[in-house]
Amino acid sequence: MPAPLNSLGLPKPPAETRVVAAMSGGVDSSVVAAMLAEEGYDVVGVTLQLYDHGAALAKKGACCAGLDIRDARRVAETKGFPHYVLDYENIFREAVIEEFADAYLAGATPIPCIRCNERVKFKDLLQTAKELGADCMATGHYIRRVDGPNGPELHRAADPDRDQSYFLFSTTREQLAALRFPLGDLVSKAETRELARRHGLSVADKPDSQDICFVPQGKYTDVIEKLRPGAAEPGEIVHLDGTVLGTHRGVIHYTIGQRRGLGISSAAPLYVVRLDADARQVVVGPKEALGTKRIGIGEVNWLGDGDFQDAPEGGWEMRVKVRSTRPPAPAMVRPTGPTTAEVELIGVEEGVAPGQACVFYAPEGSRVFGGGWIKTRA
């Protein structure tokens, strides 16, 4: 008779199940580590040092700053499990920061948090967890892992306001098998904070991190100019009809959909509709020019059943999310290669930008079918 499954879905008693808890020092990951330790699991806390803390210690809201490492260590001491700090600064710079800077220079709008999950936390850290003899790795992300008939599935969190599926679409099937997300079924952040108080954690009322961890005061351009001197070269602000309306102070200072701060006068409101980094042009137009019906995507990660390219005639019927703040919208996803696709939106989405993610969801229900990176729009 097979051994009964523990709360993490593994056929072992908790005391014989080693879990690496990825700890950022915030309330979410701290609660996960405390909960698992309380249940009797063999917990090993790990915090990643991802960047130069000296430049960020004065910054509020950084996910892995020096104060956060201290908070993570304090949680581990309170609950009685070992805690390690791993220096991933070089890995993080090469895998995340360098691409972030290059993407902005190319006129894209990157999302480094997704790349960090994909290339650092769920790749290198997961490998470290295996080397530590862990049976799985637990994180404080708000998302659900469900054991389906064809293996583990990714599902949206129970709390739609906290759902982080947009940032985790690139999680692979292999990674999903080794990951656990204990907070995915909680219905509110208030519930998480109450659990922190119940476990006696000093971080119970700690504010959530809001900014990208390596961007002090949220100033992306300062980081890019430091990494790529001369990046903020001025150029022309050009209307879609070709009329030169003024000059700008560098393409990296603008994003698609931006209206304010353009420094130009016009009878009707104008929005940034395209960034041409090669020509150093910021292209503007009316609001309707922001509308997008077709999106070309690459680097598709498919988490659906079967092969991505074995789509039914006409493509996969999905809901897709093209920005983290937008709800999923109906669309048809048509594979054009093993990891490429064309997405046809049933309606019109505004502000779609290359460099952002396009995440696939089931037409009904909470399942996440993966997604890809936006390359083109029309």
Would you please indicate which residues are annotated as catalytic (active-site) residues?
A: 116, 213
- For the chain, how many helices (H) and strands (E)? 9, 17
334 Cβ contact list (under 8 Å, min separation 6): 311, 314, 315, 316, 341, 342, 343, 344
Tokens of 291: 């509308």
334, 318 Cβ separation under 8 angstroms: no
- Contact (CB, 8 A) for 119 and 169: no
CA distance 128 to 132: 6
**Cβ(177)–Cβ(5) below 8 Å:** no
Instruction: Give the span between the Cα atoms of 309 and 315, in whole angstroms.
Output: 9
Residue 70 backbone dihedrals phi, psi, to 5 degrees: -60, -45
Dump the DSSP string for 159-218: STTT--GGGGTT--HHHHHHEE-TTTT-S-HHHHHHHHHHTT-TTTTPPPP-S-TTSGGG
Q: Give the list of residues 6+ apart from residue 290 with CB closer than 8 angstroms, or none.
A: 256, 257, 271, 273, 350, 351
Do 257 and 290 contact (CB within 8 A), yes or no?
A: yes
Q: How far apart, in whole angstroms, are the C-alpha atoms of residue 117 and residue 50?
A: 12
Nearest-angstrom CA–CA distance, 113 and 166: 10
> Rounded to an integer, what distance in angstroms lies between the CA atom of residue 236 and that of residue 374?
25
